[in-house]
Amino acid sequence: MPSNTCVIHVVGKDRSGIVYATSKILAEANGNILDIRQSIVSGLFTMIMVVDLEHANISLDELQDQFKELASELKLEISVYREDIFDFMYRV
């Protein structure tokens, strides 16, 4: 059974509104941020979120499409993975 949890990774030049825009998409999708970490190093913004999608009102594919649109709009790299796929990719 697929995981209801996803990992979202955001990277790009720091600017105002990145956290707001990503959080807004998740709120509108009825996603719940379980954990979030962000840092800014020499003007480079990076953020990783673990998100519960159990009660989401859109599919993971639709969520990925929305983040792809946002990435283009804000000139960011945004990756969205199901947690179980992410764990498999980075298993040692």
* CATH number of the domain enclosing 66: 3.30.70.260
Residues contacting residue 68 through CB under 8 Å, at least 6 positions apart: 78
- Residue-range definition of the domain harbouring residue 13: 5-89
**Residue 51 in 3-state DSSP?**
strand
C-alpha angle 45-32-78 in degrees, rounded to nearest 5 = 30
Whole-number pLDDT of residue 46: 98
Confidence of residue 1 (pLDDT cuts 50, 70, 90): very low
pLDDT mean over 48-68: 95
Whole-number pLDDT of residue 82: 83
**Taking 80 as the threshold, does the pLDDT of residue 56 lie above it?**
yes
**Between 23 and 86, where is the model more confident?**
23
Whole-number pLDDT of residue 92: 55
The total number of structural domains that make up the chain? 1
